[in-house]
Amino acid sequence: MTSVRELIGSRADGRRVVIKAWVRTKRETKNATFLEINDGSCFSNLQCVFDGDAGAGIATAMEKATTGASVAVGGTLVESPAAGQPVELKADSLEVIGVAPVDSYPLQKKAHSLEFLRGIAHLRPRTNTFGAIARMRNQMAFAVHSFFQERGFNYVHTPIITASDCEGAGEMFQATTLDLDALAKNGGPVDYSKDFFGKKSYLSVSGQLNVETYCMALGKVYTFGPTFRAENSNTTRHLAEFWMIEPEIAFAELPDNMALAEEFVKYLLSWALDRCREDIEFFDKRVQPGLIAMLESVRSSRFAHMTYTDAVKELVAHEEIFEFKPYWGCDLQTEHERYLSETIVKGPVIVTDYPKEIKAFYMRLNDDGKTVRAMDVLVPIIGEIIGGSEREYRYDVLLARIRELGLDEKAYWWYLDLRRFGTAPHAGFGLGFERLMRYVTGIENIRDVIPFPRAVKQAEF
């Protein structure tokens, strides 16, 4: 089947084609009618030109060829005499396959707000913006796999349902086959031994603990799959269901992890700049002016490194500008993170060695006994895009940390086993795929870079 992409990239050799696509706009003049059609194969539309006196058959069909209608257009591919497109279709036949009545089809021949389009998520991929997002999302997913596959990483499919509530990365969705309505009527305690798995189960908030097990066998691994967090958060950068990439490398320490993260981010930006040119030019022009220049500068930059302790010193020196006053031991606020990358460094910065109190139990304890080998990659505008760490691989230290935090050590038996049998230093990080998408498209609201957003009180479609 001929695609618009294929035709636009071809020579205007006068070949006859029939192309099936959807109508974007129609402009009628006395001598000609211009029908712009798009089939999603690329950003550009194909301009189909019909003679004004093309005949009654075409005139009748043309009335129904309104914005959104699906059509089959036959004609010959010719050089366009006007500016705006190199080639066009000199059309001689038109069939309307499916109409889109103008009085009920929500999309018009005009710009719509992203808020409005969010309410018609089933139709929004037909717009320029969401078509471009969808193609770019596809490309970025491909880029993720390419990066790791080129470097000998193994893609590991970690489970989506988990019966361990010890992942510790946020509120979890419970997964159950129990009849909640019946239980509510009866009252009384719930007997989870009657649930599907014989105990409480959840949707995974992270594949990290699971992927570490395969790291300790395959060496270099990564996960890339959906993740679920039942946080009651309502922001432009959180979703209840999102996709996360989590690489994990064996015999590696924090500097190796930092180098991998930097290389990964640059690889992804290069892919976006080099292979999604038409779509990213649209974002640069209409969504976030300066996007391409910013991404290019990050691609060619060297990421700054800074310890948490040094970062706090910088922040304290300018504490008057912050709503939340920084101090050693505080969690870095969004305003702090953005100040570090946007004002102090003026580019990406990796902050390392955070106080153990504000980080997860599995991060390797430094010799000072106060900080852990954590790292956050902060970029301008977006803030934190990657969070990771070197893992605690010493059995005694890890067990002590679990006990210190009052966690149930029995629940971590298999995780601790990794440290009992052939333990090795290892490190990894997590990158939220939708946050990457926000970064490379300039789209602000995370609900616009995933086809069907899932958030608090939002699960339509």
Stretch that binds RNA, among 2-10, 216-224, 235-243, 271-279 (CB under 7 A): 235-243
Q: How many residues bind RNA (CB under 7 A)?
A: 70
Closest listed residue to residue 373, CA positions, set 386, 392, 395: 392
| Residue number, 263 or 274, with CB nearest to RNA | 263
The Cα–Cα gap between 48 and 435 comes to: 38
Stretch that binds RNA, among 5-13, 107-115, 193-201, 253-261 (CB under 7 A): 107-115
The Cα–Cα gap between 299 and 237 comes to: 23
Query: Hunting for tokens 């460094």 — which residue is that?
Result: 345
State which of residues 233, 270, 297, 423 lies at the interface with RNA (CB under 7 A).
Answer: 233
Does residue 66 bind RNA (CB under 7 A)? yes
Q: Assess contact for 8 and 39: CB atoms under 8 A.
A: no
Stretch that binds RNA, among 141-149, 194-202, 214-222, 333-341 (CB under 7 A): 333-341
> Minimum distance between the CB of residue 380 and RNA, rounded to whole angstroms?
14
Q: How far is CA 52 from the centre of its chain?
A: 46
3-state class (DSSP) for residue 427: strand
State which of residues 7, 143, 239, 440 lies at the interface with RNA (CB under 7 A).
Answer: 239
Q: Which amino acid is at 386?
A: I
Q: Phi, psi (5° rounding) for residue 331? A: -80, 140
> Minimum distance between the CB of residue 138 and RNA, rounded to whole angstroms?
19
> Minimum distance between the CB of residue 107 and RNA, rounded to whole angstroms?
9
Closest listed residue to residue 48, CA positions, set 14, 18, 73: 73
Q: What residues from 269 to 328 belong to the interface with RNA (CB under 7 A)?
A: 324
| Residue number, 103 or 191, with CB nearest to RNA | 103
State which of residues 99, 141, 163, 169 lies at the interface with RNA (CB under 7 A).
Answer: 169
Does residue 343 bind RNA (CB under 7 A)? no
State which of residues 242, 303, 362, 412 lies at the interface with RNA (CB under 7 A).
Answer: 242
- Sketch the per residue contact string, 419 through 448, with RNA: x for CB under 7 A, - otherwise: -----------xxx-xx--------xxxx-
> Minimum distance between the CB of residue 193 and RNA, rounded to whole angstroms?
30
Quote the tokens at residue 337: 């993170």
| Residue number, 94 or 446, with CB nearest to RNA | 446
The Cα–Cα gap between 195 and 264 comes to: 41
| Residue number, 30 or 410, with CB nearest to RNA | 30
| Residue number, 177 or 234, with CB nearest to RNA | 234
Alpha-carbon torsion angle 301, 302, 308, 313, nearest 10: -70
Q: Which residues pair with 71 in a beta bridge?
A: 21, 96
Does residue 118 bind RNA (CB under 7 A)? yes
Q: Which residues pair with 152 in a beta bridge?
A: none
Burial 249-269 (b: 16+ CB within 10 A, else e): bbebbbeebbebbbebbbbbb
> Minimum distance between the CB of residue 238 and RNA, rounded to whole angstroms?
4
> Minimum distance between the CB of residue 52 and RNA, rounded to whole angstroms?
8
Helix then strand then coil, in percent of the chain rounded to 5, is 35, 25, 40
State which of residues 8, 23, 49, 62 lies at the interface with RNA (CB under 7 A).
Answer: 49
State which of residues 164, 206, 341, 371 lies at the interface with RNA (CB under 7 A).
Answer: 206
State which of residues 2, 3, 12, 34 lies at the interface with RNA (CB under 7 A).
Answer: 34
- Sketch the per residue contact string, 353 through 392, with RNA: x for CB under 7 A, - otherwise: ------------------------------xxxxx-----
- Where are the alpha helices (H) located in 189-306, listed in sequence order? 208-218, 254-275, 277-282, 291-299
Query: Hunting for tokens 């990050």 — which residue is that?
Result: 298
Quote the tokens at residue 82: 């006007």
State which of residues 38, 61, 88, 427 lies at the interface with RNA (CB under 7 A).
Answer: 88
Helix (H) or strand (E) holding 19: strand 16-28
Q: Are strands 154-155 and 220-228 parallel, antiparallel or unpaired?
A: parallel
Question: How open is the CA angle 75-76-81, to the nearest 5 degrees?
Answer: 115
State which of residues 3, 25, 70, 270 lies at the interface with RNA (CB under 7 A).
Answer: 25
Q: Give the sign of the dihedral formed by CA 270, CA 257, CA 206, CA 368.
A: negative
> Minimum distance between the CB of residue 382 and RNA, rounded to whole angstroms?
9
Binding residues (CB under 7 A) for RNA: these are 25, 27-32, 34, 47, 49, 66-67, 80-85, 88, 90, 102-103, 106, 108-113, 115-116, 118-119, 169-170, 206, 229, 231-240, 242, 244, 324, 331, 333-335, 383-387, 430-432, 434-435, 444-447, 457-458
